[in-house]
């Protein structure tokens, strides 16, 4: 059974957002993660929909893509801005929201970093174990563990739960 080609939908959405003239939220109509952020499959990996939208419109962000509107599935670029993880956390604390453990998306992670971590990882190694790689890539150790164990950034081939996602 072949998957539906949703790329034309994504392309149309990007074009719509390039010329967006509404100040209302534009809520991602497809799959969301357990934190409520829109998800989109890019090649073998999934990305946050609002982050992918930013990438399409403005290029790869080197910081977190944050919401002014506090509406996690929103992909209206007028509501998005770049900030640091710290700002992201401060923002969340200020809004008295909780972080759901290690499942919280780490905006610093890219498919390239995921691939690198998985290639370099050596179980129990002092230089290539989860703690060492966490230091190297400035991530939480639990995040690195999740990456190498494919709890997050799962290989699409093994991830049937993501079937509702848009692929581009």
Binding site for Zn ion (CB under 5 A): 25, 69, 71, 74, 76, 79
How deeply is 4 buried, as exposed, middle or buried, from its count of CB atoms within 10 A (0-12, 13-18, 19+)? exposed
User: Given the DSSP bridges, would you call strands 39-42 and 166-167 parallel, antiparallel or unpaired?
Assistant: parallel
Closest contact distance (angstroms) between CB of 68 and Zn ion is 7
Closest contact distance (angstroms) between CB of 160 and Zn ion is 30
Contact (CB, 8 A) for 6 and 162: no
Closest contact distance (angstroms) between CB of 56 and Zn ion is 17
Q: Smaller CB distance to Zn ion: residue 95 or 126?
A: 95
Q: How many CA atoms lie within 13 A of 58 on its CB side?
A: 15
DSSP lists the bridge partners of residue 40 as 47, 166
Closest contact distance (angstroms) between CB of 154 and Zn ion is 27
Q: Smaller CB distance to Zn ion: residue 26 or 139?
A: 26
Q: Smaller CB distance to Zn ion: residue 79 or 154?
A: 79
How deeply is 101 buried, as exposed, middle or buried, from its count of CB atoms within 10 A (0-12, 13-18, 19+)? exposed
Q: Smaller CB distance to Zn ion: residue 24 or 43?
A: 24
């Amino acid at each position: 059974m072949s998957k539906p080609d949703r790329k034309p939908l994504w392309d149309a959405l990007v074009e719509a957002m390039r010329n967006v003239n509404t100040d209302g939220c534009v809520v991602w109509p497809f799959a969301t993660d357990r934190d409520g952020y829109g998800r989109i499959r890019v090649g073998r990996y999934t990305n946050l929909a609002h982050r992918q939208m930013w990438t399409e419109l403005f290029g790869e962000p080197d910081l977190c893509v944050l919401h002014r509107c506090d509406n996690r599935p929103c992909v209206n670029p007028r509501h998005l801005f770049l900030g640091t993880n710290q700002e992201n956390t401060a923002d969340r604390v200020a809004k008295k929201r909780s972080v759901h453990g290690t499942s919280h998306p780490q905006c610093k992670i890219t498919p390239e970093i995921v691939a690198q971590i998985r290639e370099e990882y050596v179980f129990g190694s002092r230089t290539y174990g989860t703690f060492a790689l966490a230091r190297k890539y400035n991530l939480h150790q639990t995040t690195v563990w999740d990456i190498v164990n494919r709890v997050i950034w799962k290989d699409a081939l093994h991830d049937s739960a993501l079937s509702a996602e848009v692929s581009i």
